Structure 1
Amino acid sequence: MAAIKANKTLNSLMGVISRPQKTFVSTIASQGLHPLDPLTAAEVSAAGKACRLYADKIGLTKLRFNSIGLQEPPKAAMLEYEASGRQGPKPARQAACIVQLPAEPGAAVAEALVDLSSPFPTIISWDRVEGVQPMVTIEDCVEAEELVKADKGIRALLKDRYGITDMSMVAADPWFYGDRYAEDSKFQEGRIIQCFMYLRVGNAQDNHYAHPLDLLVYLDMNSGRVLDTWMYPDPPAIPQMKANYIAPLVQKERGFRTGEKPINVVQPQGPSFEVNGNEISWLNWNMRISFNHREGLVFHNVGYEDQGRVRPIIHRASTVEIIVPYGDPRSPFHKKCAFDVVDYGLGFSCSSLSLGCDCLGHIKYFPAVLNTNQGEPMLIEKAVCMHEEDAGLLWKHVEYRTNHSEVRRSRRLVLSFIATIANYEYGFFWYFYNDGHIEHEVKLTGCLSTNLLSPGEGPNPTHGTLMAPGLNAQVHQHFFCCRLDMAVDDSRGGQGLTVSEVNCDSMPLGPDNPYGVGFCATETEFNTEQEAIREVDPRRSRVWKIKNPHSRNSVTGVPVGFKLAPAPTPPLYAHPSNEHARRGAFATKQLWVTPYSDDERWPAGKYPLGGDMAGIDAWTSLDRQIKNEDVVVWHSFGVTHVPRVEDWPVMPKESVGFHLKPVNFYDGNPGINLAPGPNKTSREHQDGSGCESCAAQSKL
């Protein structure tokens, strides 16, 4: 592949941008691909060219490609193909493109579907969509900062108000503008970005979040014009205290701590997983993965081999939305809210991982091929990390009569990627365990989004925490929504699943509970969508069970199932009348269940602004039947972040997530047949002389 010219800043953020030498992809090149494999670089390039050729024919002079990705085949077609042992009709490969038309009135958007199965890819459909604004890509973010810093009015304002003339020391964080509803819209049209402004002090690598300005810039990305600014009536003092995290600056300003000795992950025989393209097998687990610009990592056909056959558990799983509402009610911060999936795209925000830093051990990396705004492929070489790791104790029992001990350690397969959304990092980790259960963990880290203290505000901000003199970090929340298209022993999606809620309660005192110790678990099945809109309740040990009434456990005779074990999750604090709660309705409850539909993918709408913004609250208002149906489980979970000084300048990892655990799915503990044996590289520490191996090494 020959490299194409790209913005240096963008390259540093997203890695190598490249395009294939061949313009079109042929049917021969696609024959070896699975229908769910992400688009190749050649296919991205071919889809882009097909759109440009079509645009030329209909008189469009300028295109900007927002996204080019695989149009996944309908679920029914995929189930039929897999049921045939991949010998039946193979679903056609298609590319779904969202194309901006900057030269057209209103800067309209076209949704194009490209057929990649023919020798010369052609346009299947080209639908113009009026009144919508697509997501802000990483290229948009880079361009937005450049436009703001190049604007003559902004440069003059910075000089006159703050004495700033060196624009290389200025930073602009672009956020999609929060006016998503017409009745509360400051700007009636345009692709509006609000840029929070910061300053670097003394060094080009200085942490700019330590030095916020009281300046908010509103920018129309379609026209490239600055529309408006916001600032306090009188210019405040810019916080000057430095808070750096870049290694050379930390070493210079604080020095590194000493005494930390290496911990090495050694796998002398290599890993236990096997990889065939995007298909993975590991110690009874089987799955397929893909990657796209919006969701990032996606899991398909997750199953567990049990008694000689792979039993399906999940058809498809991914993170489909995030909302980060801030809690400062004063203008302009009442509009400070990010929908990170629809606004920016987790895939577009993904960064290339570093061996020995982000993941340890024997690593398998999966690349991601996305697109530039010119419709060419963009490669992220190490987008997804896969490795296996020790997970502590799996099970243990000591027969005290004989002092015989049996113990097995757990290990897990880990697949992860990390997305950087302006100041925050989100690490998305999926774990598959020896005992046949699945865990999803989101790790939150990165920098706090800071602002100046409001005029007249004392040293203890009402809606935040003081990080340094004059520097406020506002309270906010993070909510994540995962879409779980469950299978649970149903490979065809036609038998139907049922979702229920299980609560534990104390029994009342009485003849059946004379000593007051009794409690029991009560299970309630959901019949319709409205019944299944639920909240977590740790006091009742609440879990939700997805079960297959057509498959029975051989021991208990009850339907096999998996339970969704949620983490304690706070409510969304925004008032129901506010746009955060209306658009982010998915975060107001922790469980939603819908009958499967190919068209219901995005719980907060397809676009950040305009178009059909109907989401999960609109779908579930239909109150459709969900008992004994092909169902999708939507789980929302999150945290409230009241910042601490210890979160500054980069916050230690905060975790939130959930477990999917088998309930009467297997006939016993799947980890009972793990072979015993201690880890042979472990050493006993010798007081005063370090470990045995270290002492031996010191003599060499």
Structure 2
Amino acid sequence: MTKRLRLFFALAIAIIVLISISLRLMGLVSAQQPIISHPLTSLTEAEISTAVAVVKKQNTLSETAAFPIIALQEPDKKEVLNFTPGKPFTRQVFLVIYERSQNKTFEGIVDLKTKTLSYWQQIPNAQPALLPLDYQLAGEVVKSHPQWQKAMEKREITDFDQVQISCWAPGILSQQEETAGNRLCRALSYYKGKRWNYYGSPIEGVLATVDLNKGKIASFVDNGVVPFSQENWDYDIQSLGKLLSPLKALTILQPQGKSFQINGNEISWQGWQFRYLIHPRDGLVLYLVNYNNGDKNRPILYRAGLSEMVVPYGDPAANWTFRNAFDVGEYSLGLLANKMELGKEIPENGVLLDAVFANSDGEPYTMPNVIGIYERDNGILWKHYELNTQRNDVRRSRELVIKMTAAIDNYDYGINWIFHQDGTLEVENELTGIVLTQGTTAEKQSDDNSYGRLIAKNIFGVNHQHFFNYRLDMDVDGQANSVMEMNVKALPINEKNPLGNAIVVEETPLATETAAVRDLDMKQSREWMIASADEKNALGMAPGYMLMPGGNSIFYPVEGAKIRQKAEFATHHLWVTKYKPSELYAGGDYPNQTKAGQGLPKYIADNESLTGEDVVLWYTMGMTHIPRPEDWPVMPTHRIGFKLMPRGFFPRNPAINLSE
């Protein structure tokens, strides 16, 4: 290299360093910004700051303006699918802005390349998810209210700092509340004393509804004194006393390193390839789920994530009927993600990754260790023992898990996407945390406790349900897909079936959106297949993936129930729609204080064709929880899930060629 060239390269490097330092000083680039090399790369802190600055520059916001959601505005699907490395792509930010003083909600989209506000629109009658300031304001308003103070004094509570206020979305509104249109929350009271597990001491019958716009109590109810538990329900080592002898160490090691590769937000493992994001509302979302069978990357899913969930409680008392939490849309599940630890939520061989969020002031921050990725053993993958030769062929099963956890008040949820070596993709939800309790005078179970079960002295666990809806944008071997319902039937005895042992599978096309609103049927082992409309495998079959339900339940609120009308997505197990980028949430864009019929009922109103189309499956799974003493004071994990399993997608067992 000549002296002139060496001087040129040295000067170029110096200029790049100076530019980088200057940008960091101006706050446009942080010291550790990821390389934005793909349209679905996570937003950076700098991009969030730029988007907020653009909004504030082009719109005069009040001092009380809040930013409930700041997220990547997902590019056009065709642009993403046609993207190749090095090709320019759209980079935009989606923002929800709530003007508390005006009680107005706005949506905006900022183009990061031009630094302009490309979209700005007021959304009428929309209330975003609850914000940290809402919780703070509600606590201050309630504790300063004379009626609430008097109610506490009736219960011999004079130190109001010993009471914890829990703020809930208002749920089902009265006609007066709906007409007024103000932003509300319902405030519950718990006695905590010197203990941290205050959920064991609900101050039953006291309910305050707070007008968050006016900073005042809108209504107050005190149904009379009910004894609350005085016991210490903390469950740390200090409060439990003598513990069981510790188990001997079980160590999970991978001395040769991980088998998966991480490239930005793209994960590759055993033929699987996908991208992930943590959305502030949806939580963990997967994109571009492909499988490489040696010849090419074959698409299976474009986008998959938790769309909504609802938790209806089954007590008709006035201070319980509102408790129907939409934990995704009313509370922003993603923002409630919590950091995990190796050896605890994630085994020691895992990897923990960070996520970038924005607070309600629009300020970006990085939350550490909110995404966990790890491999785990799952017993036998396949085996055959040949008796004659005593040949034993067996392969052990390895799984890749990507996980997040979120704490929503008393409940904790784990969301797990599990990749199998046989081409199956599994969803497993974990439910743990603390049962939402009701104070009671009862010390023993009686027939009068018909809406739940006594789980401890003066503590009642109310019967309730958890319903999750997953949005699955299927692209099985391309965007042109069709959906079949598979029903297993036994044939009657006749001349063709003289012993009555014949079993057949009937395939029924789900041709339109209204025809594709379906329910599970255990008698027919009902499943659904999403198949390519264009491709055929070597056997002449359309390659497909089956939606294999796991445990499930029906939605118990009866016809005419207000929550049934608001959470209509939970009244059926399967919905199918033709792809539209704006249709993301089963319960509607703004379920907080919304009217009935939002989300999926609206999406299928035009009854579009589903034959050979870009289809989206919406699968609802539910769990009915009848509390038991063993669920107290902290609940052992309950699990619920489903699988997407290949059917004709591979020419043979895709895991047959694994080495021993």
TM-score, length basis structure 2 = 0.92
Relative distance call for 1:669 and 1:458 in structure 2 (3 A) is: closer
Match of 1:217 in 2: 208
Equivalent residues of 1:314, 1:484 under 8 A apart: yes
Match of 2:578 in 1: 595
Match of 1:614 in 2: 598
Equivalent residues of 2:453, 2:626 under 8 A apart: yes
Match of 1:299 in 2: 286
Q: Deviations over 1:320-370 (max 9, x none)?
A: 100100111121212111011110111011111112111003222221111
After TM superposition, give the deviation of residue 499 of structure 1 in Å: 0.3
Match of 2:155 in 1: 162
- Say whether residues 1:194 and 2:178 are aligned partners: no
SS for the counterpart of 2:603 is helix
Alignment counterpart, residue 93 of structure 2, candidates 80, 92, 95 = 95
Equivalent residues of 1:464, 1:642 under 8 A apart: yes
The one-letter amino acid paired with 1:479 is F
After TM superposition, give the deviation of residue 204 of structure 1 in Å: 3.6
After TM superposition, give the deviation of residue 454 of structure 1 in Å: 7.9
- Say whether residues 1:53 and 2:47 are aligned partners: no
Match of 1:78 in 2: 80
Equivalent residues of 1:431, 1:440 under 8 A apart: yes
Question: Could you tell me the percent identity over the aligned residues?
Answer: 32
Relative distance call for 1:341 and 1:184 in structure 2 (3 A) is: farther
- Say whether residues 1:522 and 2:509 are aligned partners: no
The one-letter amino acid paired with 2:42 is P
Match of 1:175 in 2: 168
Aligned residues, how many? 634
Equivalent residues of 1:314, 1:485 under 8 A apart: yes
- Say whether residues 1:402 and 2:389 are aligned partners: yes
- Say whether residues 1:507 and 2:494 are aligned partners: no
- 1: CA distance, partners of 2:615 / 2:585: 16
After TM superposition, give the deviation of residue 245 of structure 1 in Å: 1.8
Relative distance call for 1:143 and 1:407 in structure 2 (3 A) is: farther
The one-letter amino acid paired with 1:671 is A
- Say whether residues 1:125 and 2:119 are aligned partners: yes
Match of 1:108 in 2: 104
Equivalent residues of 1:171, 1:208 under 8 A apart: no
Q: Deviations over 1:130-169 (max 9, x none)?
A: 32210013553355334433x2426622542212133332
SS for the counterpart of 1:335 is coil
The one-letter amino acid paired with 1:224 is G
After TM superposition, give the deviation of residue 646 of structure 1 in Å: 0.6
Match of 1:15 in 2: none
Equivalent residues of 2:172, 2:563 under 8 A apart: no
The one-letter amino acid paired with 1:36 is L
SS for the counterpart of 1:145 is helix
- Say whether residues 1:153 and 2:157 are aligned partners: no
Alignment counterpart, residue 657 of structure 1, candidates 631, 638, 641 = 641
- 2: CA distance, partners of 1:278 / 1:21: 27
The one-letter amino acid paired with 1:377 is P
- 2: CA distance, partners of 1:670 / 1:184: 60
What stretches of structure 2 of length at least 5 have no aligned partner? 1-23
After TM superposition, give the deviation of residue 241 of structure 1 in Å: 3.0
- Say whether residues 1:546 and 2:530 are aligned partners: yes
After TM superposition, give the deviation of residue 215 of structure 1 in Å: 1.2
Equivalent residues of 1:280, 1:286 under 8 A apart: yes
- Say whether residues 1:35 and 2:33 are aligned partners: no
Relative distance call for 1:318 and 1:277 in structure 2 (3 A) is: same
Q: Deviations over 1:282-335 (max 9, x none)?
A: 111100111111111110110111132111111010001001001111212121
Relative distance call for 1:503 and 1:220 in structure 2 (3 A) is: same
Match of 2:229 in 1: 239
Relative distance call for 1:274 and 1:601 in structure 2 (3 A) is: same
Equivalent residues of 1:564, 1:661 under 8 A apart: yes
Q: Deviations over 1:547-589 (max 9, x none)?
A: 00311111x2100000000124221111232221112111111
After TM superposition, give the deviation of residue 237 of structure 1 in Å: 1.9
Relative distance call for 1:67 and 1:147 in structure 2 (3 A) is: farther
- 1: CA distance, partners of 2:35 / 2:250: 45
SS for the counterpart of 1:559 is coil
SS for the counterpart of 1:157 is helix
Relative distance call for 1:458 and 1:262 in structure 2 (3 A) is: closer
- 2: CA distance, partners of 1:640 / 1:340: 16
- 2: CA distance, partners of 1:581 / 1:454: 31
- Say whether residues 1:567 and 2:561 are aligned partners: no
- 2: CA distance, partners of 1:257 / 1:354: 23
The one-letter amino acid paired with 1:227 is A
Equivalent residues of 1:423, 1:446 under 8 A apart: yes
- Say whether residues 1:471 and 2:473 are aligned partners: no
SS for the counterpart of 1:126 is strand
SS for the counterpart of 1:531 is coil
- 2: CA distance, partners of 1:237 / 1:29: 55
Equivalent residues of 2:484, 2:529 under 8 A apart: yes
Q: Deviations over 1:448-501 (max 9, x none)?
A: 1111238999745110111222221100010000000011111xx2xx101001
The one-letter amino acid paired with 1:74 is D
- 2: CA distance, partners of 1:509 / 1:481: 41
Equivalent residues of 2:308, 2:327 under 8 A apart: yes
Alignment counterpart, residue 63 of structure 1, candidates 40, 62, 65 = 65
Relative distance call for 1:585 and 1:129 in structure 2 (3 A) is: same
* Aligned pairs (5 A) from 1:268-307: 268-307=255-294
The one-letter amino acid paired with 2:645 is K
Match of 2:420 in 1: 433
- 1: CA distance, partners of 2:111 / 2:55: 11
Q: Deviations over 1:506-529 (max 9, x none)?
A: 110011110111111111111111
Alignment counterpart, residue 48 of structure 2, candidates 32, 44, 51 = 44
- 1: CA distance, partners of 2:130 / 2:147: 22
- 1: CA distance, partners of 2:554 / 2:261: 42
- 1: CA distance, partners of 2:601 / 2:651: 38
- Say whether residues 1:359 and 2:359 are aligned partners: no
Which piece of structure 1 moves more, 47-56 or 505-514?
47-56
- 2: CA distance, partners of 1:613 / 1:96: 25
Relative distance call for 1:591 and 1:434 in structure 2 (3 A) is: same
- 2: CA distance, partners of 1:241 / 1:130: 48
- Say whether residues 1:379 and 2:383 are aligned partners: no
- 1: CA distance, partners of 2:229 / 2:25: 51
SS for the counterpart of 1:32 is coil
- 2: CA distance, partners of 1:617 / 1:456: 45
The one-letter amino acid paired with 1:470 is N
SS for the counterpart of 2:55 is helix
SS for the counterpart of 2:161 is helix
- 2: CA distance, partners of 1:30 / 1:200: 43
- Say whether residues 1:577 and 2:565 are aligned partners: no
The one-letter amino acid paired with 1:517 is N
- 2: CA distance, partners of 1:367 / 1:96: 21
- 2: CA distance, partners of 1:70 / 1:437: 29
SS for the counterpart of 1:308 is coil
Match of 1:537 in 2: 521
The one-letter amino acid paired with 1:77 is E
- Say whether residues 1:208 and 2:206 are aligned partners: no
Q: Deviations over 1:633-688 (max 9, x none)?
A: 11000110011111111111111110000001101011111111xxxxxxxxxxxx
Equivalent residues of 1:465, 1:642 under 8 A apart: yes
Match of 2:375 in 1: 388
Match of 2:623 in 1: 639
- 1: CA distance, partners of 2:394 / 2:531: 31
Relative distance call for 1:123 and 1:654 in structure 2 (3 A) is: same
Relative distance call for 1:300 and 1:340 in structure 2 (3 A) is: same
- Say whether residues 1:486 and 2:474 are aligned partners: yes
SS for the counterpart of 1:357 is coil
Relative distance call for 1:126 and 1:80 in structure 2 (3 A) is: same
Equivalent residues of 2:228, 2:440 under 8 A apart: no
